[in-house]
């Protein structure tokens, strides 16, 4: 939600600065508040549908899919709600910025975890997936040793 609110604020600032040649004030932000509420509700629905927060918390693929579904839900509802239909560019900018933000922090956490800069307990199943190795070749044994090394 923080990434969505931040990306919405950035996109509203960019749109008003480049299109209207002025900075936003509180009245412009309040005028666009129904759009933000719409985006937040759409994100909640889409993240519930794809189970973004129930498994694989740091899956950036799921967050991108959730962002795409949020864009589709929001743009569809904006079409039917005329009071916020003027903000389609803000919605599109919010979508692109939120994809970057939600994916980048997940990738950064994953990168820090892989390089042992960030530690989780062994009970934490945030990054682990079940795997099956077939065969007894040297390569299979090497991959098995790597999996054992990083799972403990």
Query: pTM of the full predicted structure?
Result: 0.68
What CA–CA distance (Å, rounded) separates 117 from 110? Answer: 10
Percent of the chain having pLDDT more than 90? 7
DSSP state, residue 127: S
CB distance 46 to 70 below 8 Å: yes
Half-sphere exposure of 89 (CA within 13 A, CB side): 10
For 74-119, how does the pLDDT look when each residue is reduced to its tens digit (9 = 90+)?
888 888 877 766 678 888 888 999 889 888 887 888 788 777 777 6
Residue with the larger pLDDT of the pair 120 and 47: 47
């Amino acid at each position: 939600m923080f990434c969505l609110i931040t990306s919405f604020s950035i996109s509203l600032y960019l749109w008003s600065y480049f299109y209207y040649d002025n900075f936003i004030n509180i009245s412009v932000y309040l005028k666009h508040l129904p759009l933000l509420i719409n985006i937040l509700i759409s994100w909640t629905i889409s993240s519930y549908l794809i189970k973004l927060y129930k498994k694989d918390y740091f899956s950036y693929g799921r967050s991108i899919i959730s962002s795409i579904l949020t864009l589709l839900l929001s743009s569809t509802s904006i079409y039917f709600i005329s009071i916020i239909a003027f903000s389609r560019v803000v919605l599109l900018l919010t979508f692109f910025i939120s994809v970057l933000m939600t994916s980048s922090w997940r990738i950064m956490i994953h990168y820090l975890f892989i390089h042992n800069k960030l530690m989780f307990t062994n009970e934490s199943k945030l990054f682990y997936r079940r795997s099956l190795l077939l065969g007894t070749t040297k390569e299979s044994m090497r991959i098995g040793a790597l999996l054992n090394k990083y799972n403990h």
